[in-house]
């Protein structure tokens, strides 16, 4: 009996040592890791987020997008909409050419989003800044119709485990006017029930379905769809939350939001109501902040975050484009 007990104790000690070694190895792999086409923040041996910028894919995106407790929110190229890229930005129509949907056979749109250059910087406090130059042109055409300077800034998690992703873009029309458009709304000429989407978007996975949308106007679920708001929260059943905020300097602020509970998906749809024209040689600037939280958050938290962000950007406490 004592021999068997000793064997069990030895086995338990061995298992504990193996588990401890695994934790140490996972901790050794934590931090920021870089490859040619990605930059990743790892936490507890798993990706917290990965920013992907393969030139062949055109549109950069963040996937996975997770909380510090390990809950993954994002979905990449789901079967129902294989052109959805987790956390990403895409126009719908530019001068009548579709830059959103992709040919299932080729994975390409009729309009090309071209990634021209990428520069990554990591500060001592592990804040990551990615500067990109992009261009837009119809497929098989050499001449660009619009250029973009984009900056994405991702903070390290704070003491409560929350972190932010700032997304800033400046779009400049070249030698001709650029018309940014979307599928018309149901009540408009040639409108569709699904019309209105374009711009900065979050596509979430099936594991976080069943959560709750809450807007700055106090609207929940699909009642927040097509309604203006300065921010929108998505809270999952498991407890994690995404807070997406529209900036007061943005075109048509506060944006009308595109909300799809069944996916789930949400977006501050900047051209929801009507097209927008950027005159030749002129620019359009947009900025958004996403706050990724490991716990449920409420309207008071969201409002405070929005006001702090607004004050920061007003004072210029942000990387310039």
What does the pLDDT average to over 292-303?
98
Rounded to the nearest integer, the mean pLDDT of the chain is 93
Confidence bin at 129 (pLDDT 50/70/90): very high
pLDDT for the residue 240: 98
Residue 28's pLDDT is 61
With 70 as the cut, is the pLDDT of residue 232 above it?
A: yes
Over residues 210-217, mean pLDDT: 98
Whole-number pLDDT of residue 9: 63
Mean pLDDT (whole number) for 89-96: 99
End-to-end CA distance of the chain: 72
Residue 133 has what pLDDT?
Answer: 99
CATH architecture of 38-314: Distorted Sandwich (2.70)
- Mean pLDDT value of segment 107-111: 94
Q: What are the sequence ranges of the domains in the chain?
A: 38-314
For residue 313, give the 3-state DSSP assignment.
helix
DSSP three-state, residue 160 = coil
Q: What is the pLDDT of residue 104?
A: 86
Q: Assign 74 a pLDDT band (cuts: 50, 70, 90).
A: very high
Neighbours of 1 (CB within 10 A): 5
Helices (H), the chain: 2-28, 299-314
Complete DSSP assignment for 40-95: EEEETTEEEEEEE--GGG-S-EEEEEB-TTS-B-B-BS-TT-TT-BSEEEE-SEET
Give the total residue count for the chain: 321
Q: How far is CA 124 from CA 32, 34, 121, 152, 156, in A?
A: 11, 16, 10, 17, 11
What integer is the mean pLDDT of 62-77?
Answer: 99
């Amino acid at each position: 009996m004592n021999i068997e007990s000793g064997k069990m104790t030895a086995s338990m000690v061995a298992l504990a040592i193996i588990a401890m070694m695994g934790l140490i190895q996972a901790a050794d792999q934590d931090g920021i890791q870089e490859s040619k086409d990605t930059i990743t923040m790892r936490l507890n041996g798993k990706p917290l987020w990965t920013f992907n910028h393969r030139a062949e894919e055109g549109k950069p995106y963040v996937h996975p997008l997770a909380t510090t407790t390990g809950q993954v929110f994002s979905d990449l190229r789901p079967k129902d909409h294989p052109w959805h890229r987790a956390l990403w930005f895409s126009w719908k129509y530019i001068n009548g050419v579709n830059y959103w949907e992709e040919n299932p056979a080729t994975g390409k749109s009729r309009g090309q989003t071209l990634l021209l250059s990428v520069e990554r910087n990591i500060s001592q406090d592990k804040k990551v800044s990615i500067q990109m130059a992009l261009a837009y042109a119809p497929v098989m055409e050499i001449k660009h119709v619009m250029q973009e300077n984009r900056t994405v800034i991702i903070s390290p998690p704070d003491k409560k485990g929350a972190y932010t992703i700032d997304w800033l873009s400046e779009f400049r029309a070249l030698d001709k006017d650029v018309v940014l458009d979307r599928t018309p709304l149901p009540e408009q000429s040639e409108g569709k029930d699904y019309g209105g989407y374009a711009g900065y978007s979050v596509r979430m996975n099936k594991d976080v379905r069943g959560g709750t949308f809450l807007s700055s106007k106090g609207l929940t679920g699909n009642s927040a769809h097509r309604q203006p708001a300065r921010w929108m929260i998505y809270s999952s059943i498991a407890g994690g939350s995404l807070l997406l905020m529209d900036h007061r300097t943005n075109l048509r602020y506060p944006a009308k939001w595109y909300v799809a509970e069944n996916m789930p998906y949400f977006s501050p749809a900047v051209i929801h109501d009507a097209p927008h024209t950027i005159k030749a040689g002129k620019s359009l600037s947009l900025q958004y902040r996403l706050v990724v939280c490991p716990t449920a958050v409420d309207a008071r938290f969201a409002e405070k975050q929005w006001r702090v962000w607004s004050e920061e950007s007003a004072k210029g406490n942000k990387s310039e484009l």
